[in-house]
Each structure stands twice: as C-alpha cells, then as structure tokens.
C-alpha cells in the first residue's frame, strides 16, 4: 500500500509539463524560465541565469539565496524551523515582493503535504549552511531546529539589505517581526484561507486540522 503511494508520488514529480514564463524588468531587460504547469517547479536555463546575475549587479533583483539570507538578516536571532522559514518566504514571494516592487526569482512553490513548499529554498538553505553564511542548531526538520545568521552571513546580508529602499527595509523588518510571533500553523492557516492560493491545497494533509469547520474544508474540492 505505501509502496504504491510512493510510486505515484515519484511519477508526479518526475513527469513535469514545462511552460515558458517570460518576464521583463525595468530598463527593458527580459529573461525567461521554465515552470511546470502541474506542480509549479521552476528551472532556469543556464544562459538565462547568467544574464540575470549580470543584471542584478547593477539593478535590484533578488535571487532565492538573497531572500533566504535577507529574511534571516532582517530579524532578531533566529528563524524557528524549516516550515516557518518556507512559509515566510512564500509570503515574501507572493505578497511582500510584489507589494514593494522588488523583482524576484521565482521560488517555485507547489502544494505539498504541509502546505506550499519549494525544494529550491531547501537547496538554497543547504548551500548557505555549507558556505558558512547560516548556522543551524537542533535536529533537522524538528520543531527545535533553529536557523542563525553567522558573522559572514551578516556581512553579505547587509549588502543585500542596502540594495533596498528605506521603506522596503523598514517594511521587511516589520514583516519578519510580525510572522516571527506566529506559529507555522498560523501562517498556513492564513495562506489557506485566501482563495488565490487554492492551487497549493491539492496535496495537503493538514487542511482538516487547520479548518475543522466543513465550510472551509470544502475549499479543497
């Protein structure tokens, strides 16, 4: 039985249906990436990534790694748990960055068991830990896991932070402070209550727990 389920999941993630997404930024600079129509996984062709990196040297454009570090930099002490980290970045991508007009690499979220999830964020965190920008304490993926920024990370975080306007900086610190005080469950509940995020509900295991009332639970269908 469980074998069967794993097999189904493997094929779900193995067989992507790619769609080209084209974006134009300030100054007329254009790039594209590929996004799966089914699960919203994102892939960047190498040449596109390179020209984006060149663009970002002179212009405001934040990559996944920038956001992972910046979010940690903009708050106090630590981020508690990978779920909290992922969900805050979800809100950064879908709400904060658009609201404050910060061009951002697509973080590639898709609906997963515990809410919107991006494997690219997990990979970025791993990379930043390996490179010594982030330090982690506590057992991996447990509720005790804590992500801290190192001195090296602060230096780099400060550079990214200074690319933002004063308003963007202030709002980002407030964003972090606000969501730091909430539980992961509260973030999920907020995300799941919005109709525009309905597409991230398809694989959720926690929906009925978050919304015991049947009216909201029907959103799933």
Q: Is 38 in the site for Zn ion (CB under 5 A)?
A: yes
Which residue, 16 or 135, is less far from Zn ion as judged by CB? Answer: 16
Q: Is 39 in the site for Zn ion (CB under 5 A)?
A: yes
CB of 9 to Zn ion, least distance (A): 12
CB of 29 to Zn ion, least distance (A): 28
Which residue, 34 or 186, is less far from Zn ion as judged by CB? Answer: 34
Cα distance between residue 153 and residue 155, in whole Å: 5
In this chain, which of 34, 36, 136, 216 binds Zn ion, going by CB under 5 A? 36
Q: How far is CA 88 from CA 168, 190, 215, in A?
A: 16, 11, 26
Within 40-99, which residues bind Zn ion (CB under 5 A)? 41
Which residue, 16 or 203, is less far from Zn ion as judged by CB? Answer: 16
| Of the candidates 78, 204, 72, 82, the residue with the CA atom closest to the CA atom of residue 141 | 82
Contact region for Zn ion (CB under 5 A) — 2-10, 29-37, 45-53, 170-178?
29-37
Q: What is the DSSP letter of 39?
A: T
Which residue, 32 or 148, is less far from Zn ion as judged by CB? Answer: 32
E strand or H helix at 22:
strand 18-24
Q: Is 34 in the site for Zn ion (CB under 5 A)?
A: no
Question: Residue 97: helix, strand or coil by DSSP?
Answer: helix
Question: Residue 173: helix, strand or coil by DSSP?
Answer: helix
CB of 122 to Zn ion, least distance (A): 16
CB of 14 to Zn ion, least distance (A): 8
Question: Residue 78: helix, strand or coil by DSSP?
Answer: strand
Q: Which long-range contacts (CB under 8 A, 24 or more apart) does 189-192 make?
A: 191/87, 191/90, 191/91, 191/115, 191/116, 192/115, 192/219
CB of 107 to Zn ion, least distance (A): 15
CB of 127 to Zn ion, least distance (A): 22
**CA angle at 150 for the pair 123 and 85, rounded to the nearest 5°:** 45
Which residue, 39 or 128, is less far from Zn ion as judged by CB? Answer: 39
Interface residues with Zn ion (CB under 5 A) are: 16, 36, 38-39, 41
């Amino acid at each position: 039985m469980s074998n069967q389920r794993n097999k189904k999941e493997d094929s779900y993630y193995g067989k992507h249906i790619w769609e080209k997404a084209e974006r134009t930024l300030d100054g007329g600079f254009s790039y594209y990436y590929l996004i799966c129509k089914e699960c919203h996984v994102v892939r960047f062709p190498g040449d596109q990534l390179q020209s984006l990196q060149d663009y970002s040297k002179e212009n405001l454009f934040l990559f996944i790694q920038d956001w992972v570090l910046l979010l940690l930099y903009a708050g106090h002490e630590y981020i508690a748990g990978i779920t909290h980290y992922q969900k805050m970045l979800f809100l950064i991508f879908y709400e904060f960055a658009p609201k404050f007009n910060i061009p951002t690499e697509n973080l590639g979220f898709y609906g997963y068991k515990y809410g919107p999830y991006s494997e690219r964020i997990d990979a970025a965190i791993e990379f930043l830990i390996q490179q010594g920008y982030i330090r982690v304490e506590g057992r991996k993926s447990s509720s005790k896991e804590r992500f801290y920024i190192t001195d090296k990370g602060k230096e780099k975080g400060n550079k990214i932070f200074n690319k933002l306007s004063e308003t963007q900086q202030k709002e980002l610190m407030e964003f972090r402070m606000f969501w730091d005080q909430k539980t992961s469950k509260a973030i999920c509940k907020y995300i799941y209550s919005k109709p525009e995020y309905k597409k991230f509900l398809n694989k959720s295991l926690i929906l009925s727990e978050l919304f015991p009332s049947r009216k909201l639970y029907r959103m799933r269908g």
